[in-house]
Amino acid sequence: MKTLILFFLLFLVIFTESKYQCKNLQGKSVDWFVVYKLPKLSGSTNGKNFVYFDSEQTAWQSGNDINDPKSGVGATISQIYYSKKDDFHIMYSDDDPIGGPDSYRGHAKGVSLFDSTTGFWIIHSVPNFPSSKSYAYPTTAEKYGQSFLCVSMEVSHLSTLADHWRYIQASPYSSNAPDKFLTRFPTLKNVIAKQSLPRSATQFWTSKTIKTINGHTLMSYAKHRKFNGDIWNDIISKENGITLAVESWLNGNADDLHTTCTKTSQTHDIIEMRVMGENFKSSKDHSKFAVSSSNNNPIVCFGDLNRQKSQLSRGGGALCLQHRNLWEIYHNSVVQVEPCKGSTHFSFETILLALFVIFSI
């Protein structure tokens, strides 16, 4: 009898772990995780170092090799390479490993896999990644910092995800969409065919809730290119009534938006970060994330778009979650942000103190 019970328990463990979900550094299923791939810094980080955080942690956990297919990002994405023909998957990117950059469609990168019950969605910032054949982190993406958010969810959320991908004009370069998924979630047909919103559309951004397998609520935001605005300031900051510090790509010849301050929103560009004792400027970071200023509304968002004028007319999205421990490590990692006016760099804490004084008068 004991042998039978042990066999049954072992079967349950194997069955649970066989479901498609986000995987931690040991390859075990988790509700969600965040990975911050650190930039290549002289004498300290080699371009493959990263830090990891999930729903069960209170602090960063260090990782040495983002190229490892057995842990975290690698273990999660590798599930696609061993998935079945009747499972759904999609890989999309405006700069994929197969073709050249697409400057017209959505500036967005992501990976998703579902069976008939559960799956995951990863939003990331890495160009030319991942391969549709096997897991390998590109050496071309080692120099700069990169971000990943993975969320495990029930298959029913594919309806919301499909709508999100359609709004942002995602560019699939690898997909498998069996009829049972296309019948249940017909918008997936538009996504796979790269069909955007109809000409009759009048609403060019959307926000919807998503729940993880364990019931944690997140908010997804998606904007179409016709919205012609900054998703961070014009949507997320305004809709939530929060001040944001945003890390995004501000290098190159593009015209940056710079810190934006209005009566209804305030969005600061991050100048410098400090993660696990390593300081680095925003110029060394290709990540796209935002953190709110107040612990009264501890929001962290991960998305697609840079705060540059050229991206106002590009589709893109973001996924935001309220989680105090995650918020604290991101909030405390912001060293400097660009202030509302002038060229002096103020610390995030100094700006928060100034805001407190202003609104206390």
Catalytic residues: 286
According to DSSP, the residues that pair with 227 across neighbouring strands are: none
> Reduced to 3 states, what is the DSSP secondary structure of residue 292?
strand
Measuring CA to CA, which residue among 187, 204, 147 is closest to residue 319? 147
Report the sign of the C-alpha dihedral through residues 13, 15, 21, 25, in that order.
Answer: positive
Report how far apart, in Å, the C-alpha atoms of 88 and of each of 11, 111, 116, 222 are.
25, 11, 9, 22
Contact partners, residue 95, CB within 8 Å, separation at least 6: 101, 102, 109, 127, 128
The token pair at 111 is 């990976």
Kind plus residue range of the DSSP H or E element containing 325: helix 324-331
